[in-house]
Chains A and B, each alone.
Chain A
């Protein structure tokens, strides 16, 4: 299969313009015969929304933009980021997987960063689930940005049977060194390598670029194979459509050689977690 990561710069708070940007990228991807095209976190809205959250929120089942995206997903599968009004007045930072004219899954961001420069809990409701779902390419799990930096989340997808982990992100660059990238870029790459290697799963990480209110989104989108090898990486600074051909057989090969999945014991993990949680002190 051919996967494409759309490292774009969305327009902040303008769904209409961002849909055009999606459309344009989808057209390009179709010409390149891409089977799965992934957009970054909040790709339809931009990231630093603050009080704009409610203005850009949609209900995918009724929304005209989503009905167009559903139609487009007959030609190629899509992952998009958006603000979802799941219930009246409850807004989620969500990722939708669309394929064959339907929405196959929506992941709602669980770990909403609210520290330092981040204030997501002020504006978003938090999701409560990490679910593996079926796609035309095998079982997949999705994470949004800070979800991925909590390694338990990837474990849940691994235990749930994910063969592909898709992470969409709007990660700002932080920290300078003598390297030609931000210190924070390394953090994502380290996690990508580790999780793909020890989940024997493909890992697609799609970040965005561009500036919002001085924050610089640090690109560097990447694809790791199920033995933790970097297959492709986009620029740290520029817009890009990263295209990579992958063989889904690599998952089987990796799991034959490294039986982490076969030997996994979620019930023991669950028991231990229950004991830990029961022993919490106030």
Chain B
């Protein structure tokens, strides 16, 4: 699980730089929450593209999470990247005043998609590629909003577990205040990833690493000393979120079909 953060930084900054150059983009844009993942992504982007080519959108819902907004603004200032703070509450409230719901997950997902919608709009206005901030832990557990925070142009962080992002953050010089925060998807006040998922990131990442990276069986992971219920729950979360990691299936009826046997690389002629 330990990484060489200097090596990973070099790889990921090259990835950002190369992918943008291939698609003739100069600028990158990302949603900056004031949390760890988006801060790390902002640090990488600022180093890969030069601060002047990075735009951070800070997208709070009203007055919730004021501290995080302030932290995000400080990160932007520290890195010298452009930032814009947009309150999403008028758009979100307009919708929920017509279709009210007490379900905070539905509300949170709508907010995540509102942010995505603004990011894509700014991406077109600014000719900037959206840098994703979903990490490997979230992607595997499906802990993200489909077409919300999971949507992006390229994702430099998607093959790093949360634990590894923490290692990278120290190396990059992400302020301690950000690194010590309780991870939260920010769907509602007081939400914490670990509280909602039911275990600390350390345990989740260890179990995922055994199952995914080392290809161990459920039996072996339990035998290695992890709690049976934890391992079972993690496998359940992985299985039930595959739809979030794939494009939707297309009913194949013709002789050549998008996604089935019409197979071209993403970086075609790049």
Assign chain A's interface to a size class: 20 to 34
Report chain A residues within 8 Å CB of B19.
211
18 contacts between A and B (CB under 8 A): A12-B268, A48-B267, A51-B262, A51-B263, A52-B264, A173-B11, A176-B7, A176-B164, A178-B2, A179-B4, A181-B7, A211-B14, A211-B267, A212-B265, A213-B266, A214-B15, A237-B10, A237-B14
CB distance from B254 to the nearest CB of A (A): 15
* A12 / chain B contacts, CB cutoff of 8 Å: 265, 267-270
Residue B197 interfacial (CB < 8 Å): no
Shortest distance between the CB of B165 and any CB in chain A (Å): 12
A247–B84 alpha-carbon span in the complex (Å): 62
Q: Mark B1-43, 1 if CB is under 8 A from A, else 0.
A: 0111011101100110011000000000000000000000000
**Hey, which chain B residues are within 8 Å of A212, CB to CB?**
265, 267
- Interchain nearest-CB distance for B30 vs A (Å): 18
Q: Give the residue name and chain of the A residue nearest to B270 (CB).
A: A12
Residue of A whose beta carbon sits closest to that of B256? A51
Which residue from chain A places its CB closest to the CB of B17 in the assembled complex? A211
Cβ of B214 to closest chain A Cβ, rounded Å:
11
* B8 x A176 contact (CB < 8 A): yes
Closest CB of chain A to B169's CB: distance in Å?
16
On whether the beta carbons of B18 and A52 are closer than 8 Å, the reply is no
Is A216 a contact partner of B269 (Cβ separation < 8 A)? no
B263 and A177 form a contact (CB under 8 A): no
* A176 touching B4, Cβ below 8 Å: yes
B15 near A50: Cβ-Cβ < 8 Å: no
Contacts of A48 in B (CB 8 A): 265, 267
Query: Quick one: closest A residue to B265, CB to CB?
Result: A48
Tally of chain B residues near chain A (CB < 8 A): 22
| A211:B2 contact, CB within 8 angstroms | no
Given A177-B3, A211-B15, 15 additional A-B pairs, CB 8 A:
A13-B268, A13-B269, A49-B265, A50-B264, A52-B268, A176-B164, A177-B2, A178-B3, A178-B4, A212-B267, A213-B267, A214-B15, A214-B266, A216-B14, A237-B10
Please report A residues at the B interface, Cβ cutoff 8 Å. Answer: 9, 11-14, 48-52, 173, 176-181, 210-214, 216, 237
Taking the closest CB of chain B, its distance from the CB of A242, in whole angstroms, is 19
A11 pairs with B269, CB closer than 8 A: yes
Of A49, A51, A211, most buried by chain B (CB within 10 Å of CB) is: A211
CB distance from A46 to the nearest CB of B (A): 8
A14, A50, A176, A181: the one within 8 Å of B269 (CB): A14
Closest residue on chain A to residue B18 by CB atoms: A211
CB-nearest residue of chain B to A209 = B14
Cα–Cα distance between A211 and B159 once the two chains are bound (Å): 15
Bound Cα distance A267, B108 (Å): 72
Q: Smallest CB–CB gap between A51 and chain B, Å?
A: 5
What CA separation (Å) do A210 and B11 show in the bound complex?
10
Cα–Cα distance between A50 and B262 once the two chains are bound (Å): 9
A50 CA / B256 CA spacing, docked (Å):
14
The interface residues of chain A lying within 8 Å CB-to-CB of B270 are 11-12
Q: Which 8 A/B pairs are nearest by Cβ-Cβ distance?
A: A50-B263, A48-B265, A180-B7, A213-B266, A176-B3, A51-B263, A12-B267, A178-B2
